[in-house]
Structure 1
Amino acid sequence: MSFKIQTLNKIAAIGLNVLDRDNYEIATDINNPDAILVRSAEMHDMQISDNVKAVARAGAGTNNIPIPELSEKGIVVFNTPGANANAVKELVMLSLLLASRPVIDANKWTNELAGKGDEIPAIAEKGKSQFVGPELMGKTLGVIGLGAIGAMVSNLAQHFGMEVIGYDPFLSVKSALFLDKKIKLAETLDSVYAKADYITIHVPQTNDTKGMINAAAIKNMKNGVRIINIARGGLVNNADVLAAIDSGKVSCLVSDFAAEELLNHKNVICLPHIGASTPEAEDNCAVMAASELKDFLENGNIVNSVNFPKTLTENPIPSGGTRLCICHKNIPDMISKFTSILGDAKLNIASFINQARGDIAYNIIDVDGFVSDEIIAKLASCDTVSRVRPIFG
């Protein structure tokens, strides 16, 4: 079997090497790709070939991908949760320090002393008082979202002597077990806002979370709060935060998402989306994304999809047989339709896995024997089926 992979961004070579060149053709300009590898490229206005079976995002966020449209076409969208978590965690910790100690301004001021020669030490000593900032020790950090990154930030902040209070209504068992026992869990966002000297956000951008840091939320925060956003730009209403900075309610905003209104504003540190910009994170994301595509294309397995259910089989594809990967709406009686069609064709089902996520269902059906184009067409013609993909053994 051979596959065509289109890359919309530069993908680390170590990740592309997961896809052996005997079976994979990889290029930026490629006709009718089987799958797409992407980082931050905008896909919402992109014409996507009907031949595309999967999109893998080398990163966690997927707001650059038109997920509802792809779901309707039976296209699986993967991401790489946790692959860049350490890189983002480290930038968050740096941001906490930058929000406290005005080291950027201090460095800029010190550089302006160039040319004053032997006078510099005395001038620097006299001028340092304008760059005073609080310590992290003893302060309270509110962490909104306790996934891979939020949990790592929470644990590390404790080593800085901070009190940590976290909020996550969807806290997974895995993340809960990873959290230090000293970390307090809040039942509401308002209880975090009321107690936190620093707030860092680690949630995906959805209709529910977009603009969540706004005037109403800020009103419930402590005076002088410092806000860190290394997650997604749309989580913060910039106008509301800037107004709060001007009034003194908010002491500082550190954002990894450049916007015109944030640039050169007092007490705002704006970065160019560098949260995952480490060679280690780029390698980890590329390897995970390529591995997810490879397993899906070759075996039909789905892991770390944002729109399809996790579906795994360790069974090999039957020798001389066919593995059918079927996407459809999660409605009653679909399984009986598939088994009836295969039974009428005198094809024996060796194994059958059905998983659902919301209104999407996915099946891996192993058949002892060759499934013809005619039978595949019959399966595809069933109501609500969006894709039938055979993998031949």
Structure 2
Amino acid sequence: MRHIKTIDDITKDGDVEFGEGYDFVEDAADADAILMRSTDLHGYDLPAGIRAIARCGAGVNNIPIEEYARRGVVVFNSPGANANAVKEMVLCMMILSSRGIVQSMQWVRDNACDPDIMADAEKAKKAFVGRELAGKRVGVIGLGNVGSKVANACVNLGMDVYGYDPFISVEHAWELSRDVQRVGTLEDLCRGCDYLTLHVPSKADTIGMIGAEQLALLAPGAILINFARETIIDEDAVDTALHKGGLAWFATDFATPKTVLMPNTFITTHSGAGTGEAEALCADMAISELKDYLENGNIAHSVNYPACSMGKARAASRVACLHANVPNMIGQITAVLAKDNANVQRMVNESAGENAYTMFDTDEHLDQSTIDALKKIPAVYRVRVIK
């Protein structure tokens, strides 16, 4: 029996199912893995027995991923599972910011007691005249799970769509509409845009990437949409652009102390992925990742270890070593196995940055002394006997 600790409300209805061979425990000290969503784990007293953590969502800023890597804990996320929900919210914000819809509805509420409201509404509607999306230029920064969907949807709306992503994957490049025009620099993307929407993670090279210089390149009265991360923009520059009129509107999913004081904003409660469908898809993906890792040692969608798969564990024994990405690690592992006369059927080694993962199948179960010898190899963080 494998034991799972859940943190946070994983789905709206609370329904989380791992299937036969799994149960849920109250104390993380009794668990093999953690399934969680938004709790900040920085400073969390993580029990030594935890082998993996799966985050129901894409962002992992709330998890100390490198610290956990050095402890041999694989951290998974669920990229793309909530992409459609975020895409729909971005399109919603583009329309709300363009048509005066919220302001128009508020006028009706404010004048609800007017006996001549129908006639007066006809007169008032001139104040809420907006613009259509069709034919307007939109710049999409980041063409990953969400950005590629936003770009394709904008094409379908008849917009002139430009995309910027120097690190676009082959998978997402194939998914992108041929009508999305890719540009090579951020400046070229921003120049003349009526709309700019952001879909990149928060990293050293993206923090503050949209500042005064980029905003000045947009078309007068442009609309900025940030449903990526609050750190992607220079908030002071956005505030100045809104006050001076360079930006007509700013829509964001992050209610920071600064954004809530800015004029002409739509600010939501980090609700971009807030649908029941997205929650269920994220949970399903995270559960599938955890099960494959716990049962077979396979890694998919980890943020601190490389992708690695040897299929279903069918040999007499399968062992995984989580270790630093250093020279001669394979040689040291095979040297230990040779002393035990272990017959290795298959072995896979993958690396990602400073961390690496080695997994192998053997014809017979290894002696405990061999497992202990593997654990003593310098820079080996953890050894798992999967089967």
Q: Same fold (TM over 0.5)?
A: yes
1:263 positional shift: 2.3
CA contact (8 A) 1:8 1:28 kept: no
Q: Distance in 2 between matches of 1:120 and 1:286?
A: 48
1:42 positional shift: 1.0
Deviations 1:97-135 (A, max 9, x none): 112112112111210112223x11111111111112111
Equivalent of 2:185 in 179, 182, 188: 188
Q: Distance in 1 between matches of 2:204 and 2:69?
A: 18
| SS of equivalent residue, structure 1 residue 260 | coil
CA contact (8 A) 1:223 1:250 kept: yes
| Equivalenced residues, count | 386
1:38 positional shift: 1.4
Structure-2 residue corresponding to 1:175 = 172
Structure-2 residue corresponding to 1:236 = 233
Q: Distance in 2 between matches of 1:375 and 1:335?
A: 15
Deviations 1:3-60 (A, max 9, x none): 221211111369731x12x422224543242111111111112111121111111111
Structure-1 residue corresponding to 2:349 = 354
Structure-2 residue corresponding to 1:79 = 77
Q: Tell me whether 1:102 sits opposite 2:97 in the alignment.
A: no
CA contact (8 A) 1:14 1:283 kept: no
Q: Distance in 2 between matches of 1:156 and 1:5?
A: 38
Structure-1 residue corresponding to 2:296 = 299
Deviations 1:258-301 (A, max 9, x none): 12322263211100011111111111000000000000001000
Structure-2 residue corresponding to 1:283 = 280
Structure-1 residue corresponding to 2:143 = 146
CA contact (8 A) 1:145 1:201 kept: yes
1:177 positional shift: 1.1
Structure-2 residue corresponding to 1:38 = 36
Residue type matched to 1:3 in 2?
A: R
Deviations 1:306-348 (A, max 9, x none): 1111101125331xx2211101111221111111111111221
Map 1:1-393 onto structure 2 (within 5 A): 2-12=1-11, 16-17=16-17, 19-20=18-19, 22-27=20-25, 29-117=27-115, 119-263=116-260, 265-318=262-315, 321-392=316-387
CA contact (8 A) 1:78 1:305 kept: yes
CA contact (8 A) 1:226 1:253 kept: yes
Deviations 1:211-237 (A, max 9, x none): 212223223333222100111122122
CA contact (8 A) 2:28 2:34 kept: no
Q: Distance in 1 between matches of 2:284 and 2:312?
A: 24
Q: Distance in 1 between matches of 2:134 and 2:25?
A: 50
Identify the range of structure 1 (39-48 vs 134-143) with the bigger mean alpha-carbon deviation: 39-48
Q: Distance in 1 between matches of 2:149 and 2:126?
A: 34
What runs of 5+ residues in structure 1 fail to find an aligned partner? Answer: none
| SS of equivalent residue, structure 2 residue 356 | strand
Q: Distance in 1 between matches of 2:382 and 2:192?
A: 50
| SS of equivalent residue, structure 2 residue 258 | helix
1:72 positional shift: 1.3
Identify the range of structure 1 (140-149 vs 211-220) with the bigger mean alpha-carbon deviation: 211-220
CA contact (8 A) 2:25 2:31 kept: no
1:378 positional shift: 0.7
Q: Distance in 2 between matches of 1:183 and 1:94?
A: 20
Distance 1:10 1:315, change over 3 A: closer
Q: Distance in 1 between matches of 2:236 and 2:30?
A: 43
Residue type matched to 1:115 in 2?
A: C
Distance 1:260 1:27, change over 3 A: farther
CA contact (8 A) 2:35 2:56 kept: yes
Residue type matched to 2:70 in 1?
A: E
Distance 1:124 1:36, change over 3 A: same
CA contact (8 A) 1:59 1:84 kept: yes
| Identity within the alignment, % | 40
| SS of equivalent residue, structure 1 residue 241 | helix
Q: Distance in 1 between matches of 2:338 and 2:144?
A: 45
Q: Distance in 1 between matches of 2:26 and 2:138?
A: 43
| SS of equivalent residue, structure 1 residue 92 | helix
CA contact (8 A) 2:29 2:49 kept: no
Q: Distance in 1 between matches of 2:282 and 2:237?
A: 34
CA contact (8 A) 1:15 1:290 kept: no
